[in-house]
Amino acid sequence: MTDSHNGGFSPGPAGPGDGAPPLLMLSGIGKRFGGVRALGDASLTLTAGSVHVLLGENGAGKSTLINIIAGTFGPDAGSYCLDGQAVRGLTPHRARQAGISAVFQEFSLAPNLTVEENLFLGRERHRLGVLDRRAMRARAQAVLDDLGFDISPRQRTGDLSRAHQQMVEIAKALMDPVKVLILDEPTASLTEAETERLFALVDRLRAEGVGIIYVSHRLREIIRLADRITVLRDGCTITSIDAAGVTEDGLVELMTGRRMDALYPQIPHDPGAALLELSGLTLANRTVEDVSLIARAGEITGIAGLVGCGKSEVIRAVYGLETLNGGEIRLKGQPYRPSGPARALAAGVCYFPSDRVAEGLALGRPIRENASMAALDRQKGVVRRGQERSFIKATMDRLRLRPANIERAVGTLSGGNRQKVMLARGLTRPTQVFLFDEPTVGIDVGAKAEVYDFLRDLVRDGAAVVLVSSDLPEVLHLSNRLYVMHRGHIAAELTGADITEAQVLACFFQEDAA
């Protein structure tokens, strides 16, 4: 292992072209899981020193393909060549030795270990069996500094924010020389500034000759980074194109076969009574301080802000998931003291958590049970199964769940379908206030459009919708009024024509300067 940090990530310079074989060449890859075909005929050719974006809706087979590349499991059919050599019997360990490193969406960090312990997990440095802590700390610090990540190696990983954990994960992937780096939605939890730093890093690795496979749903960053784009649909490679000159509209069409303008629906805002009023809301952990806002019936109230600005905590507090320290909440004009989800649901408030795996769904249980979960208290002790089945079936049809089998375990579904199962919650009981926390995080464009349609329908039916999102275009397009939060405070309230990206960004920077 090389200890130099200036360009020390790649084993050696390797330029694209020059008649050299491509770094990585997969063709005709097929993979089945039981009776389900995940990949039919997937192909991908990665050249050294390029960023190759893998594009496709959820369930298109992107994650299966990158898992095959990383050696998590082997393909059933097709050929896999690395540096012109056929590869067989790849394991994650051997892939790492061959210079293939992956950063997956699911973190591989041990939360109770420190950052440096995680970085060296499984490859600890030692002298005669005794851990060489000093050397590891120095190397960890060097790697983090080199990446420009502001994290101390001694911090406990579990105490870090998700964004910082993501950085540790990336640093871990770059501990050893890397030829092929796989990044699976690496910016999902990063702030704008952190995202920029990641892009700079990607640029640098590319210049050093690393081949980067990049999976993302964010069109802008695809355009920013991609050299080539391979489109997967239903487990097959549809096309592989040069990224030069590609537009966001073009990407959406490539991925789904539908046009971009259809993504954000016209929302028929018609503001009515204030259903939710917060004044001076302050949380015990001080993530939110002195926040006052109003959400009216018949409109979408957006809350924008950087990761960690407290925007999620505001709506979580209303739902009773955070401890209040002060302030007042009024619900439909009446004072309301949050005391937990059951009470909030009964009062007509429903919260849709951003982390669907941790807080949203029981993955091992069927769709039917997950969809009706929030309305259990309305069944007076006895569950009428026939009624439940037909009701949930109708609800899921309305949400366009595909495939429509409601007895499948939720764990077998893609992100978009999981979100639909959660959305069903809002339709299973009378609800007037809808609190959405990052409702489209990790779901594909097709499902996104359906989530937006769902919001539109809610507004049309006179509900108060609060939309908390880190996806700026999303809150800009959908909100009738937009609050911008910064460091736990409301920095601005924008309405009408003032809702622009420039205005929102100005709030962030103005506050920073102050």
- The residue ranges that bind other proteins (CB under 8 A) are 34-35, 319, 321, 340-342, 344-346, 351, 353, 358-365, 369, 373-374, 376-377, 379, 381-383, 385, 405, 407-409, 412, 425
193/383 with CB nearer other proteins: 383
Distance CA 234, CA 38 (A): 8
> What is the edge-to-edge ordering of all strands in the sheet holding 489-495?
349-352, 433-437, 464-468, 299-305, 481-486, 489-495
7: tokens are: 């360009």
Residue number with CB closer to other proteins (111 or 364): 364
Report the nearest approach of other proteins to the CB of residue 383 (Å).
6
User: Which is closer to other proteins, CB of 108 or CB of 503?
Assistant: 108
The answer to whether the beta carbons of residues 269 and 480 sit under 8 Å apart is yes
Q: What angle do CA 242, 247, 250 make, to 5 degrees?
A: 85
DSSP secondary structure letter of residue 22: P
Nearer to other proteins among residue 34 and residue 89 (C-beta): 34
Residues 6+ apart with CB under 8 A from 194: 163, 167, 187, 307
Shortest separation between residue 35's beta carbon and other proteins, angstroms: 7
CB of 58 to other proteins, least distance (A): 17
In the bound state with other proteins, the residue whose beta carbon lies nearer, of 85 and 405, is 405
Tell me the H-state helices in 304-366.
Answer: 311-319, 341-346
Least spacing, CB of residue 431 vs other proteins, in Å: 11
C-alpha to C-alpha distance for 93 and 100, rounded to whole angstroms: 9
Residue 344 to residue 346: CA distance in whole angstroms: 5
What is the CA 460 to chain-centroid distance, rounded? 28
Q: How far is the CB of 473 from other proteins (least distance, A)?
A: 28
* Closest distance of CB 463 from other proteins, Å: 18
DSSP 235-249: TEEEEEEE-TT--HH
Q: How far is the CB of 458 from other proteins (least distance, A)?
A: 18
Judged by DSSP in three states, 327 sits in strand
Which pair of structure tokens corresponds to residue 235? Answer: 């487990």
Q: Which is nearer to other proteins, 79 or 412 (CB)?
A: 412
First to last CA, the chain: 45
Cβ nearer to other proteins, comparing 240 with 412: 412
